[in-house]
Structure 1
Amino acid sequence: MTSHPLPSVAVLGLGSMGQALAGAFLGAGHPTTIWNRSDGKGDGLVARGAVRAATPGQAVRAAEVVVVCVVDYDAARAVLDRAADDLPGRLLVNLTSDTPERAREAAAWAEALGVDYLDGAVMVPVPMIGTPEALIFHSGTRSAYEAYEPTLKALGGQTAYVGEDHGLAAVHDLSVLDFFWTAMHGLVHGFALAASEGVPAAAAAPYMKTLAALLTSVVDGTAAEVDSGKYPGDLDNLTVEAANVRHIVRAAEHRGLDAAALRGVLTAAGRSIDLGHGADTWSSIVEGIRNPA
């Protein structure tokens, strides 16, 4: 496997994300070959200079770096099986989201073929692909990542290598999205609570932004406490904060809103308090999360 300033790339799968990935490679000047299972996709990419392959094998043979982005790992494997004989000597990058376990299974399959393999996770929506702000995780063969890092960064300026364990990109993907979707639920739930008393979401939005900034400010400190297992309760404590959550649950249910997620927060807090963390900081709720029984 060789590296030069503009390696050739193949993109297998032309859903909206696959087309964005191919477009970013083209925009960065990489010779790009595309393939899709069904016809009718990629005409715009061809007009920009991409080459359409008739088969996955044909696409793979034209490239140094092969990127697959399809609906799931079963679909990815079905595509790659058709090109298995052509993959050795190339870098295979799987940007199909799934679990860490599936990523490691895919890595074992690639290793058996003698193929350098990176598993990845795209953390931004389609319009952000190729921008300096786009975050994409990669994990797997370090030497392969380093050899083609400039190529992979064509997809996003925040592209990050997170380790040799092929499952780590998926771990980062799931943990970051866990935070994101829980926060998004809280945002919408808060708007719904305000609206139940006639307060428009737009009126509450500026104050949501203020609290979002506060949330950002505590990320590093919370990470340090979770990693160390030390939760100094000198500024707040779990018992008091759980009482605040209980008030929100009561108000939400009184207004006919679904408060199941917040009740889950209370359950985890209660476990942590039972474990002796009532006087510790809010971060100690992690103990209740880690001990669900």
Structure 2
Amino acid sequence: MALTQIAAAKCFGGQQLVCEHDSDACGVTMRFGLYLPPQAEHGPCPAITWLSGLTCTEQNFITKAGAQRAAAELGVILVAPDTSPRGPNVADAPDGAYDLGLGAGFYVNATAQPYAAHYHMERYVAEELPMVLAAHFPLDRRRHGLSGHSMGGHGALTLHLKYPDIFRSVSAFAPIVAPAQVPWGQKAFSAYLGRDPEVWADHDATALVTRQPTDAAILIDQGSDDPFLTEQLRPDLFAAACEAAGQSLTLRHQPGYDHSYYFVASFIDDHLRHHLAAWQRR
């Protein structure tokens, strides 16, 4: 599990790194950002893996969210993988659309061509990346959570629900909670997974929580002025499913906030503390 460090900067007493490695899951070189708080010099620390949204790379979260200050205070490692495989042989959207292909992996294991060769982001995030992190950094794997934004919020919710023993806490910003019922998800799932809605349900948080709720307390922040709220995000659907399933959910509607990283930066400290509280309860 060789790892190459390609950037490092001192930040709030810790280190903001960017690393890359050859991925068996995706068959290409994958890159991730990683913040090591000062406490990591003295022993294992809990971690939050952040999953970014459409068009993003590992850079969006580490440069825009402003999460390092609170992570340094709380002693939390932050991990920010890329949103898709990349490379000259990696399939992209035929028309270059922003919501499919490069930068839009949707955190699933693709089974349909031409994406099946490389688009295995579920396996990468849930299986390979935790092993890479544990081999190179002082990660406390008993305290590992997921968070994310938009497409990444979808990934955080679904991967927590599918792998609750790996990702023991979860939160999200403006997540795509019911991708099987909205245009972004329907387009991506058709391309990556084929056209069977029963297959899609295994990657849809609203469907998953109805049959496999967890004992985690889920936190979601949603901006009321988000232009994608009513067509693409539909938090009401997930809230109803959680209530029916007995899943603990705090859904906060934030007046005046949109879909941008200004919104994420405004509440990211709350989310880090949410994860810390969840780990302390276990």
Question: Do they superpose with TM above 0.5?
Answer: no
Structure possessing the higher relative contact order (Cα contacts under 8 Å, 6 or more residues apart): 2
Higher strand share: 2
Higher-Rg member (1/2): 1
State the TM-score, normalizing by the size of structure 1. 0.25
State the TM-score, normalizing by the size of structure 2. 0.26
